[in-house]
Structure 1
Amino acid sequence: MQKADSSVDFSFVDGIRTASRRMVRELGFMQSTLAATDYPPSAVHAIIEIGARKSMSAAQLAEFLGLEKSSVSRMVRKLVEAGELQEQASDVDGRVKWLALTPQGRRTLTAVQSFGRKQVVGALEQLNADQQQAVAQGLSVYAQALEARRSGEAIVQADDIRIVAGYHTGVIGRIVQMHAMFYARSVGFGSYFESKVAAGLAEFAPRLEHARNGLWLALQGERIVGSVAIDGQDLGDNKAHLRWFIVDDGLRGAGVGRRLMDAAMVFCDAQEFASIQLWTFRGLDAARRLYEGYGFQLKEEWPGAQWGKEMVEQRFER
Structure 2
Amino acid sequence: MLEQAAPIPIDSLRTASRQLVRQLGFMGGAFAGTNLSPSAVHALIEIELGGLTARDLAMRLNLDKSSVSRMLRKLIEAGDVIGQTADDGRVKVLSLTESGQARVAAIHAFARTQVSEALGQLEPAEQRTVLEGLTLYAGALVGQKDAATSAPTVEVLRGYQTGLIARIIEMHAHYYARASGFGRQFEAVVAGGLAEFCARRDSPGNAIWAAMHGHKVVGSIAIDGEDLGEGVAHLRWFIMDDGLRGSGAGRKLLRAALDFVDAQGFAETHLWTFSGLNAARHLYETEGFVLEEERPGTQWGMEVMEQRFVRRQT
- State the superposition RMSD in angstroms: 5.3
CA contact (8 A) 1:228 1:261 kept: no
| Unaligned segments of structure 1, at least 5 residues | 1-6, 233-240, 267-277
- Rg larger for: 1
User: What are the superposed Cα offsets for residues 18-60 of structure 1, whole Å, 9 maximum, x if unpaired?
Assistant: 2111101111112165234332110111122223x25643233
* Cross-structure match for 2:53: 57
Q: Find the partner of 2:11 among 4, 9, 14.
A: 14
Q: Find the partner of 2:222 among 217, 221, 228.
A: 228
CA contact (8 A) 2:47 2:95 kept: yes
* Cross-structure match for 2:258: 258
* Cross-structure match for 1:66: 62
Q: Find the partner of 1:108 among 70, 94, 103.
A: 103
* Cross-structure match for 1:312: 304
* Cross-structure match for 1:83: 79
Q: Provide the C-alpha distance between the structure 2 equivalents of 1:16 and 1:69, rounded to a whole number of angstroms.
A: 31
Q: Find the partner of 1:25 among 22, 33, 36.
A: 22
SS in structure 2 of the partner of residue 100 of structure 1: strand
Q: Provide the C-alpha distance between the structure 2 equivalents of 1:259 and 1:43, rounded to a whole number of angstroms.
A: 37
Q: Find the partner of 1:47 among 44, 49, 58.
A: 44
Q: Provide the C-alpha distance between the structure 2 equivalents of 1:314 and 1:287, rounded to a whole number of angstroms.
A: 17
| Correspondence list, 1:1-318, <5 A | 11-31=8-28, 34-51=31-48, 53=49, 56-90=52-86, 92-152=87-147, 164-165=158-159, 167-169=160-162, 171=164, 179=171, 183=175, 216-218=207-209, 226-228=220-222, 244-246=237-239, 248-254=249-255, 256-259=256-259, 281-282=274-275, 283=277, 284-285=280-281, 301-302=297-298, 312=304, 314=306
Q: Provide the C-alpha distance between the structure 2 equivalents of 1:311 and 1:288, rounded to a whole number of angstroms.
A: 23
Q: Residues 15 and 75 (structure 1 numbering): CA distance in 2 closer, same or farther, change over 3 Å?
A: same
CA contact (8 A) 2:223 2:257 kept: no
| Unaligned segments of structure 2, at least 5 residues | 227-233, 241-248, 309-314
CA contact (8 A) 2:21 2:27 kept: yes
Cα offset for 1:75? 0.9
User: What are the superposed Cα offsets for residues 182-218 of structure 1, whole Å, 9 maximum, x if unpaired?
Assistant: 959xx7599x99xx79x969x96xx96x668888444
Q: Provide the C-alpha distance between the structure 2 equivalents of 1:287 and 1:30, rounded to a whole number of angstroms.
A: 28
SS in structure 1 of the partner of residue 140 of structure 2: helix
Q: Provide the C-alpha distance between the structure 2 equivalents of 1:287 and 1:132, rounded to a whole number of angstroms.
A: 16
The one-letter code matched in structure 1 to 2:304 is: V
SS in structure 1 of the partner of residue 63 of structure 2: coil
CA contact (8 A) 1:83 1:102 kept: yes
- Normalising by structure 2, what TM-score? 0.59
- Normalising by structure 1, what TM-score? 0.59
- The number of residues matched between the two structures is 269
Q: Provide the C-alpha distance between the structure 1 equivalents of 2:104 and 2:284, rounded to a whole number of angstroms.
A: 24
Q: Provide the C-alpha distance between the structure 1 equivalents of 2:261 and 2:138, rounded to a whole number of angstroms.
A: 27
The one-letter code matched in structure 2 to 1:70 is: S
SS in structure 1 of the partner of residue 297 of structure 2: strand
Cα offset for 1:251? 0.8
The one-letter code matched in structure 1 to 2:26 is: F
23-32 or 72-81, which moves further after superposition? 23-32
The one-letter code matched in structure 2 to 1:50 is: I
The one-letter code matched in structure 1 to 2:12 is: G
Cα offset for 1:242? 8.6
The one-letter code matched in structure 1 to 2:34 is: T
Quote the sequence identity (%): 34
